[in-house]
Structures are given as C-alpha cells and as structure tokens.
Amino acid sequence: MTFHGGATQPARYLLAGLLRNNFTPSRIGGYPHIFGGLPATVMADDILSDDPGRIRALIVFAGNPVISFPDTAKMEAALGRLDLLVSLDIYHSDTATFGHYSLPAATQFEKSSIHFMVDKYEPSRRIEWRPKVVDAAGEARPEWHILQDILVAADAPFLNNPDVHREVVAARCRDEYYPETAMYEGVLPDGITLDAVMATPGGIELDPPAPGEFFALQVKTPDRRLHLAPADLVASLPGAIDATPTTTEEYPLLLISGYRRLRSFNSWTHNMPSLTARLDEPAAHIHPDTAASHDIRHGDTIELGTSHGTITITAVLTDRIRPDTVAVPQFWGHTYDSGQTHARERPGVNINRLHTTSHRDQFTGMPNFNARPCNIRRAP
C-alpha cells in the first residue's frame, strides 16, 4: 500500500458543515470541539450532574459508548439517567439496552454510496459508485433518511445548514427525502460529476498525485501548512517528560488496553461467528518472566486491578510483550440483554471497568487507555 491521499475531498465537505457548528467548549472541563465533537471523558459527568443545562438526550449512530467509553459503571449510570436515548444501528446493541427507542438502520448492502471516508486506503485513487444490492428489510432505512425525519420533526437545521434544511423540509412535505447524492457531490474533485461516476462501472481512476497536490487540496489550514509544533504543545513537553507514568509498590506493572487484532473491529464484529470462531476472548498478555515472578502460568485465571477496580481474566504468556507490562484488548463485555445473541454467548471482559474519566489528555480531554499502573495475581 502506498499513501496517495485519496481521490475524494471529504475535508472540504466536512468543514463546510462544521464551520456552522456551535463551538462552545465542553461544559465540564472546557475542552474544545475536535471535528465538531467533544471528548468521551466528560459525557457521563455532564449527564450525571445537577446542572439545568446538562445533557438530557442522546442519539447514537452505530456507536456503543457503554462498551467503548472509560469507567463502564459510570457510563451505565449516565445512560440510565437520560430523558431520551435513541440508538440507530443494524441490530439492538449493548447501548440500546439502556434506551427508549432502537431504530433499524440499513446495512451497507441496502443503500448506495461512495466510500469517501476510506478511499485513501484503496490501492489506487479511484472514485466508485456502489449501488445497493437489495432493498432494506422491514422498517430499516438509511441513517440519512432517519436523521432527516428527526430534524424536521424537531425543527432543527439539517447538517447545520439553513439552505439545505429548507430543501429537506420541502422534500418531506412532498413525502420524499433529500437525496444522499447531495452529500457525495460535495466530496468530488473539480471536473468530475456524480453522473459520470455513476455511469462508469468500476469507478473513475485518477492520475497519481502530483507533488504539492495534497497540501493544495486536502490541508485546510489558512496557510496550507501542517502545524507540527503548536506553541502550547511544545511548552508542555518538559512537563510530559517529567510526568512519565511511574509504578508503585501496590501497582508495579503498566497496563496497555489499546492494542487490536485483525479479526476484531471495535465492538462491531463480535456477533459474527465466522470471525469469532478464530478469535479467542480477550485475555491478559504477560511476559513469561513477569508471570513467573507473580506465580502465574499460561491459561491461569487471574485478577487484574488498577486503583479504579478489578476484573477477572485469563492470562496468556508471550515474549512479544515487554516485561512488567500487561496488554488487554478493548471493546468486549457484551453482558447486556441485546440482540447480539452470539456476542452474548462469548461476552468477554470489559477492560474499561479499570479506567477512569479523569485519566485524560490535557489538550483534547480524550481518555488515555494506556500506561495505567496495575497489578496481577492468580485468582483464588
């Protein structure tokens, strides 16, 4: 694979909508918006606060915060306190079990699209229209249509764009939907029309990028430069070096919970028997020397703890990890009464029960899932 920057220009489309967003910092922590979003660490605290302006309603698009956010117990309490929780997904998810409405979304085979968010990972610069294979089953619909109905009913501007919203309202008055094609037209490079893409089987392949093209088209800073050394980041480096995570006598090891495996993608793929059949449930990966010093053998059930809590998990010994380090995959813990029958049979352990919302990045407020002091011992 070679980096070619992609054929479409999603940054242009995204920024056109994001510039209309409300950029008020997060009410808790005062963190800035990143691509229109606020950090995961403050959401539960905001919902659980007594402030009259706290978050009271949440619409979740293909997300699973009860599994993927830090401090699982706090996240469970926050989701349970919401006045309204709506989940849009292709199945009744773990998070949806806390909700009031679960809306069925169409799968990728039931809607047409240009995959503009991932085209830069394709082998060549290609723009391809991928028509739907079958009609959506039952009451399932594309998220694009569901969101239009919600925002029209709420009289909230679609994509934060008053001009587009007027067209959306007019379409709904005619019992139609504002077409998804409007979104795809916005990401096409100059000189290529959506009609041409749709009429070309296999898509339109662009020439390899010319020198300087990436900065000219994809970098949207005012001076067209990548700012690799912002002043506040540089100023913080000495403190970050001095604050290198240190272990204690009670917690002598460091926990890594961000590593991934090829047959697992976040919490989405654990309901697929064809993948999980070749995928062990999450385990604690430990160096043999570290395990020996704690009287732990391969396959033992151990207790893994941080200052925030303790979980029970299987130990896997491997020399592919550094001594005095423990690595556990994220995005497991499917213990809820969801529609994921297979995932519930092999729920795994949610490592986020050991993380707190206060362990966060100082600039963005996003959670730190690594370098957390921990301890291990063989379970009784």
Summarised one tens digit per residue, pLDDT across range 142-166 is 999 999 999 999 988 887 788 888 9
pLDDT band at 287 (very low <50, low <70, confident <90, very high): very high
pLDDT band at 21 (very low <50, low <70, confident <90, very high): low
Provide the CATH number for the domain formed by 247-378 in this structure. Answer: 2.40.40.20
pLDDT over 70 for what percent of the chain? 97
Question: Average pLDDT, stretch 2-23?
Answer: 73
Summarised one tens digit per residue, pLDDT across range 161-192 is 888 889 999 999 999 999 989 889 888 988 99
Q: Sign of dihedral through CA atoms 347, 348, 352, 353?
A: positive
CB 373 within 8 A of CB 380: no
The residues with which 254 forms a beta bridge, in sequence order, are 325, 373
Q: Is residue 236 over pLDDT 90? A: yes
State the average pLDDT for the chain.
Answer: 91
Q: Give the CA distances from residue 76 to residues 211, 221, 262, 313, 340, in Å, rounded to whole numbers and listed in that order.
A: 50, 39, 28, 21, 18
What's the pLDDT at 113?
Answer: 92
CA-angle at 240, arms to 237 and 241, nearest 5°: 90
Buried b vs exposed e over 51-73: b needs ≥16 C-beta within 10 Å?
A: eeebbeebbbeebbbbbbbbbbe
What's the pLDDT at 9?
Answer: 85
What's the pLDDT at 309?
Answer: 95
pLDDT band at 19 (very low <50, low <70, confident <90, very high): low
Q: Is residue 1 over pLDDT 60? A: no
pLDDT band at 331 (very low <50, low <70, confident <90, very high): very high
Give me the residue spans of the domains in the chain.
10-217, 247-378
CB 119 within 8 A of CB 127: yes
> Does CATH place domain 10-217 in 3.40.50?
yes
- Please tell me if the domain spanning 10-217 has the same topology as the one spanning 247-378: no
Question: Average pLDDT, stretch 243-256?
Answer: 90
8-12, 41-45, 210-214, 265-269, range with greatest mean pLDDT = 41-45
What's the pLDDT at 306?
Answer: 96
Summarised one tens digit per residue, pLDDT across range 46-69 is 999 999 999 999 999 999 999 999
Summarised one tens digit per residue, pLDDT across range 105-138 is 999 999 999 988 888 888 889 999 999 999 999 9
Question: Average pLDDT, stretch 195-208?
Answer: 93
